[in-house]
């Protein structure tokens, strides 16, 4: 059980809980219980108001969620959850030349945002043969991403991967060399802007992230990104600067790896 008493999205941005699948981005106010032989649960010492998110974990079962959606955000009615059998995601991760990658992180994040209260993600590392398996997943759509532990290669996330209860979906995931993208962040006088934090996203409906960079003392940022459509936005700026409008200030279609792509962005002061 996770209690959120701040803004609408504050539960998504605070890494606190690593042991409970799906709550690794939550606030620290977490209550955990096990049901009795009748399947009954009871939480005590819970705040009387706030956004309440309940997420389950059980061997062989899919994650289930519940949220108090009443307007007053009070906890005045019993919670009723029906669990279904888990879906699984399995497969192998390979390098650009087809060799299995050991220790790569494969993550599946729920992409049906309108169907859930909490956008859970599930992760696993590949074994020596590059194999992985994710369990406990609900019958929803997922975005699947892969991270290289040695940062040699990149991966363009797969979107809208449909999973079904009691079935295993198998994926062959191959990483790529990536494209170098360089940029310079300046102010209106042409001076470099340091410590501007920028993110790169896939230019799609789900917009999964594919990279991040911060400008150095010369205002330079650098990314290594997968081929395809990419968009950029600032997620943090130094004091005194205003965010561009629209916030997505640049879009690129990356089609070749021979030469780096370059761009320049000028920030205005408040």
What pLDDT, in 10s, does the model give residues 120-148?
Answer: 889 999 999 999 999 999 999 999 999 99
What's the CA gap between 164 and 140, in Å, rounded? 7
Q: Give the separation between CA 180 and CA 124, rounded to whole angstroms.
A: 28
- Residue pair 87/163 in contact (Cβ under 8 Å)? The answer is yes
pLDDT > 90 in the chain, percent: 65
pLDDT tens per residue across span 98-118:
999 999 999 999 999 888 888
Q: Is the pLDDT of residue 28 over 50?
A: no
pLDDT tens-digit map of 227-264: 999 999 998 999 999 999 888 999 999 998 777 899 99
**Is the model's pLDDT at 84 over the cut of 60?**
yes
Return the DSSP state at 133. Answer: E
Mean pLDDT score, 29-55: 79
* Residue 168's pLDDT band (cuts 50, 70, 90): very high
Report the Cα 129 to chain-centroid distance in Å: 25
Q: What Å distances lie between residue 63 and 115, 169, 246, CA to CA?
A: 13, 17, 36
Task: Write out the DSSP string of 191-240.
Answer: -B--S-EEEEEESSSS--EEEEEE--TT-EEEEEE-SEEEEEEEEE--TT
Q: How confident is the model at residue 17 (pLDDT cuts 50, 70, 90)?
A: very low
DSSP state of 166: T
* Dihedral pair phi/psi, residue 113, rounded to 5°: -65, -30
Distance CA 225, CA 230 (A): 8
The H or E element spanning position 132 is strand 131-137
Which one has a higher pLDDT value, 170 or 71?
A: 170
Neighbours of 130 (CB within 10 A): 20
Query: Beta-carbon neighbour count of residue 1 at 10 Å?
Result: 18
- How is the chain split among helix, strand and coil, in percent rounded to 5? 0, 45, 55
| Tens of pLDDT, residues 180-232 | 999 999 999 999 999 999 999 999 988 999 999 999 999 999 999 999 999 99
Task: Name residue 142's beta-bridge partners.
Answer: 110, 161
% the chain with pLDDT above 70: 86
Q: DSSP letter for 85, please.
A: B
| Rounded Cα distance, 218 and 268, in Å | 17
Region at 38 (left for phi over 0; alpha for psi -120 to 50; beta for the rest): alpha
* Buried residues in 249-267 as b, exposed as e (16+ CB within 10 A): bbebebeeeeeebeeebeb
114 vs 52, residue with greater confidence: 114
Q: Mean per-residue pLDDT for 80-85?
A: 91
Q: How confident is the model at residue 16 (pLDDT cuts 50, 70, 90)?
A: very low
pLDDT for 29-39, tens place per residue?
567 888 999 99
Q: What is the pLDDT confidence band of residue 70, given thresholds at 50, 70 and 90? A: low
The per-residue pLDDT for 54 is 84
pLDDT above 80 (res 71): no
């Amino acid at each position: 059980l996770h209690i959120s008493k701040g803004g609408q999205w504050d539960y998504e941005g605070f890494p606190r809980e690593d042991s409970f699948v799906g709550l690794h981005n939550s606030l620290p106010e977490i209550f955990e219980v096990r049901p009795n032989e009748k399947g009954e649960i009871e939480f005590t010492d819970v705040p009387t108001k706030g956004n309440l998110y309940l997420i389950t974990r059980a061997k062989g079962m899919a994650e289930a969620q519940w949220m108090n959606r009443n307007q007053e955000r009070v906890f005045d009615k019993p919670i009723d959850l029906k669990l279904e059998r888990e879906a699984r995601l399995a497969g192998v991760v390979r390098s650009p030349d087809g060799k299995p990658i050991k220790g790569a992180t494969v993550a599946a994040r729920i992409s049906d945002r309108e169907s859930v209260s909490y956008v859970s993600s599930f992760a696993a590392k590949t074994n020596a043969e590059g194999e992985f398996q994710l369990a406990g997943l609900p019958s929803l759509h997922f975005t699947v991403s892969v991270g290289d532990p040695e940062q040699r290669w990149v991966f363009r996330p797969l979107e809208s991967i449909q999973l079904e209860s009691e079935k295993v979906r198998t994926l062959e995931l191959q990483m790529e060399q990536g494209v170098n993208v360089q940029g310079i962040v300046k102010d209106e006088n042409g001076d470099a802007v340091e410590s501007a934090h920028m993110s790169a996203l896939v230019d799609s409906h789900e917009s999964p992230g594919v990279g991040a960079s911060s400008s150095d003392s010369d205002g330079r940022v650098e990314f290594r990104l997968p081929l395809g459509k990419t968009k950029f936005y600032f997620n943090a700026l130094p004091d005194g600067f205003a965010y561009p409008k629209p916030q997505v200030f640049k879009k690129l279609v990356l089609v070749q790896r021979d030469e780096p792509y370059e761009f320049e962005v000028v920030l205005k002061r408040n």
